[in-house]
Structure 1
């Protein structure tokens, strides 16, 4: 690409005035210069509007205050307002690294690639680095068979080709959580994904954030998986679908065992997972941990 195409960066925010300017500044400080930032304020009740006044004279930043309708609606409003050939995301409490777009956008030279994503680093609520292992293996190419088992695409790292949205839709507004996994599954049916190992995105870990709501996450994950498999019943081999359900039940069971020190409900989930795939090794490992009490220590 000889000329820089326009990249639209959507930031949906709700009561994140303390972090929002840091997120915006990290995007504006990109080595990639042809970009716009679309900030959709989902009815914030803090000082977000005051914080946004500092960007009033910057033509690269558009501030769109709305009524509080939830993050899917806010993100979709951002997508509607985006003018770029490519669309990227940054959560209001996170940060971009300056080279993010410079290393990711060239991957779109391959016209089959619809989503380019990268690796993540972590900080705490005060901005101090946090050591955390990468939870999932990353994949490139045609990834539906891997993605249906684990959402290995960190949301804020993703840059999408505008055609993805135009051809395969935006976020499902009926889902309060897990909307990115639902989106990636749909996009994976028609587009390739490309992983860039650079740490271009910094995820902030702080008390009270939605990502800690594991029960809500799993509730919506079950809905998303069921919806995808019902919509695309022949997209994946039966064995892959069985693995997806097995992993879903086992993962939920072990989350409950670890977080709430439960036994019988996790045991039921693990056994259900093994009924989907008797040879699912993580299920047997989870069962052993439960029986030995290690998952609840």
Structure 2
């Protein structure tokens, strides 16, 4: 059992919209932490389901704070939670996901390195019927100064991350200009001044279920281009030019690949992949993608 007097306060932000069916499970999983010095800030972004009703069961718990807002979107809801956080460390949980009880106990000791601003971990999976299953990680994980690696892939599973409050004070909150990719934008900005660390344990349980928003790959890429453009224009002097070129190339090639795969077309994917190759001719990913596209039937 941990000693609460020696533990820094961790504020856990849950931004929720119409997740009354799963929200109590998320809250209970956080309250079950072996790390006891925590608070939970639930920001209800204008839910139209039974969220206010199900949250009444926690009304007597001083660790749980419920904020009901009108619907303004995910970035504003998350920022509301961050603004109301009292802890020196801030963590996140999506309303349909879960924490393992040892999550904070595993991650918090890594903040003993004062250069560390973000500590993230591995994830496991659960379906809508609470059945567990495993998937291999989609991306390689990285530690230390990770700006270059983040330019290519957002390898930090959002809900696993715990951040130092100083990151928010120094590098800002979620950018409310964007509706998607807001965590990637946040990590890019934090990576300029802070180190990232990683716990290989699966401390976060990500739920996949039929009611989730459909995959909007065009929307994701549209926001990714906008995020990278804004980030690179503001911090160009701090970024390696070749890495940035390859990041742009990777983005164009990735977009071409997913459109080809999802829509079965050739013309638009070809233009995207060729654009990527022109930006970074030595990048093998572009030539490999071009070869795969050539084998597709129109």
TM-score bracket, shorter-length normalisation: over 0.9
Q: Does 1:21 align with 2:51?
A: no
Q: Which moved more, 1:86-95 or 1:211-220?
A: 211-220
Q: Does 1:7 align with 2:10?
A: yes
Structure 2 unaligned runs (5+)? none
Helix, strand or coil for the counterpart of 1:233? Answer: helix
Q: CA deviation at 1:260?
A: 1.9
1:50 is aligned, of 49, 53, 56, to 53
Partner of 2:190: 187
Q: CA deviation at 1:208?
A: 4.7
- Could you tell me how far apart the structure 2 residues matched to 1:181 and 1:77 are? 19
Partner of 2:164: 161
1:78 is aligned, of 81, 86, 98, to 81
Partner of 2:100: 97
- Could you tell me how far apart the structure 2 residues matched to 1:131 and 1:101 are? 21
Q: CA deviation at 1:253?
A: 1.2
Partner of 2:42: 39
Q: Does 1:62 align with 2:74?
A: no
- Could you tell me how far apart the structure 2 residues matched to 1:116 and 1:34 are? 18
- Could you tell me how far apart the structure 2 residues matched to 1:30 and 1:263 are? 50
Structure 1 unaligned runs (5+)? none
Helix, strand or coil for the counterpart of 1:127? Answer: coil
Q: Does 1:177 align with 2:180?
A: yes
- Could you tell me how far apart the structure 2 residues matched to 1:287 and 1:127 are? 41
Please give the per-residue CA displacement for 1:212-235, whole angstroms capped at 9, x wherever unaligned.
221111110000001110001122
Q: CA deviation at 1:211?
A: 6.9
Partner of 2:266: 263
Q: Which moved more, 1:39-48 or 1:214-223?
A: 214-223
* 4+ runs deviating over 6 angstroms: none
- Could you tell me how far apart the structure 2 residues matched to 1:9 and 1:241 are? 33
Root-mean-square deviation (Å): 1.5
